[in-house]
Structure 1
């Protein structure tokens, strides 16, 4: 029973500290929470929590604040993450549903997450390597040039202009036939499978169209292999200034770290992969020194995967409203996946 009670005391300390940013004392706990025990018992529980490294005294005052380990225990012991309200979910759906293309989806998603959580929102662009083909379009653009447009199921568009060695401006039937053959072989397939899938197309096209087909196949293979995973979008960096005192060293080191997009991609990508391995729509949380990149060890990251194509999350100080951030990240990821993969 004492362990359960101490967990309640820890939960109360985390909640109060997140809300007030002030160290929490036993008197304040008794005033704000119905703990059902005496002040002496609360002080004893706080002493045990401090001995276990779950809370600490930032200075000589009687108040205590959670440590990284305390936040971790708090997050791990969350039995459920309170879902967003119906009004919040409707607002998310309507805001994201108004996007006109992939770039707009990403921009709206990061702005929305930043607004919901008051943290820095981070989103990885959908990975082409895990996307499938929605449609391939072939458009003659004059002379011997042909525009090859690859549209993924996520809405991502890659296009290449190739010289096919033949003027197709007056040969709509040949273009239409090749377009039909390519879509028949490629639609619904992983982009990584395009070269193999198009091999049968090359064998079946008329000899006179073989060079055109080979040029198109090469362009599609190049588009499918485009290194688009190395893109990440941020929103809400200014939110860090609002809580600048939460960073014990320097806010500038955190801001500098946010400029390292490769680091953010590895962090968000790794955490979202971890979340995808859990049951259901799990959310991964990395707290303080759990972050492998030293300049971000004064921050916490909450992330998940949207669909099977990318990761998104929020980054902020360890004094974060974890249940609210986890609920927002999970809900937004759900709607993004519906939009991009629906």
Structure 2
């Protein structure tokens, strides 16, 4: 913003955005005169508003004498004019109490997403960690009939994965225990991919020495250790909150946002940008560079395990959101999630 109208224009811009965030109605010069406490005439305010409109910070909706902020106006507000609210000790304690370190990773991520949605009344997103290595702590097999076996894998990040395996015949509980004991004895503490590779090599090398039952059991174990499940994903909670926030004119943009949730790649691209950046990141409208979210804002922050960034959590909603409230909620939740994920990693 140019120097010639810096202070007065900034006061009026801040007052306009705050008023619009409160009631969602275009803000007229008379209202700005009342809420800004500048002691200037409505005519002076109208002149400043015209300058701000020429610069692209505000716009005049059809059939209205008042003005509303543009995406560029929101950006100015967030970067230079916003006063962020600090969460109270009680609010921080309530968030911490729900992110319990004893929960497995998947449960913690889901809980964080739920928390963000509940506290902000918008949609909460959590980017699933991109795991380069998954280490096996323990494996159990349970026969479930119909030539099927339930494999329960406990991983080093406290995640438990359940996989249903289809076998060439039914196996008894005792037979499956033999296979589980073998895997736990030889491969506990090893990377899943490495363990599976070595198991396959043993099957090939010792095939002649193995009886048919043991060979069959180790093929079951091989299937259980397959780590090819997709990890490129995010959890989203509270999409229905967005329906309550949308006005009829914004339904088209909301449809595009829901399609972006479904296709995932646009959202994942934005979250990955946040993973590479420090602190809270804010994308407003079209500046995200993603057509599906051009009418929305996303506030995100990375979370860590043992000091390493592994994922991102975020809130997404309309550009007309309470930035002063949502920003600290996202920031604190990311910090507390990092603490919960780290506390029991060892």
Question: Normalising to structure 2: TM-score of the pair?
Answer: 0.76
Match of 1:191 in 2: none
8 Å CA contact retained: 1:164, 1:215 = no
8 Å CA contact retained: 1:271, 1:284 = no
Match of 2:165 in 1: 161
Match of 1:176 in 2: 181
**CA distance 1:182–1:99, change in 2 (3 Å):** closer
Q: 2:66 aligns with which of 60, 63, 66?
A: 63
After TM superposition, list the pairs within 5 Å mapping 1:236-251 onto structure 2.
236-241=239-244, 243-245=245-247, 248=249, 250-251=250-251
Match of 1:325 in 2: 326
1:77 pairs with 2:80: yes
Match of 1:190 in 2: none
Match of 2:235 in 1: 232
Structure 1 residues without counterparts, runs of 5 or longer: 187-193
Match of 2:31 in 1: 28
Structure 2 residues without counterparts, runs of 5 or longer: none
Bigger CA drift: 29-38 or 176-185? 29-38
- Structure 1 residues 227-280: Cα deviation after superposition (integer angstroms, max 9, x where no partner): 243453331514432x332x63x51551464155343x333322222222222x
1:110 pairs with 2:113: yes
- Name the SS of the counterpart of 1:320 in structure 2: coil
Paired with 2:44 and 2:136, the residues of 1 have a C-alpha distance of: 63
Paired with 1:298 and 1:91, the residues of 2 have a C-alpha distance of: 32
8 Å CA contact retained: 1:148, 1:160 = yes
Residue 90 of structure 1 deviates from its aligned partner by 1.0
Paired with 1:232 and 1:172, the residues of 2 have a C-alpha distance of: 35
Match of 2:254 in 1: 254
8 Å CA contact retained: 2:302, 2:313 = yes
Residue 182 of structure 1 deviates from its aligned partner by 1.0
1:315 pairs with 2:316: yes
1:195 pairs with 2:200: no
- Name the SS of the counterpart of 1:129 in structure 2: coil
Match of 2:276 in 1: 277
8 Å CA contact retained: 1:231, 1:261 = no
**CA distance 1:37–1:145, change in 2 (3 Å):** same
Residue 41 of structure 1 deviates from its aligned partner by 4.5
Residue 331 of structure 1 deviates from its aligned partner by 2.1
8 Å CA contact retained: 2:141, 2:151 = yes
Paired with 1:339 and 1:294, the residues of 2 have a C-alpha distance of: 35
Residue 51 of structure 1 deviates from its aligned partner by 0.8
8 Å CA contact retained: 2:85, 2:325 = yes
8 Å CA contact retained: 1:283, 1:330 = yes
Residue 100 of structure 1 deviates from its aligned partner by 5.5
Provide the alpha-carbon RMSD of the alignment.
3.8
Bigger CA drift: 265-274 or 9-18? 265-274
Paired with 1:341 and 1:262, the residues of 2 have a C-alpha distance of: 31
Paired with 1:237 and 1:167, the residues of 2 have a C-alpha distance of: 46
Bigger CA drift: 4-13 or 142-151? 142-151
8 Å CA contact retained: 2:82, 2:324 = no
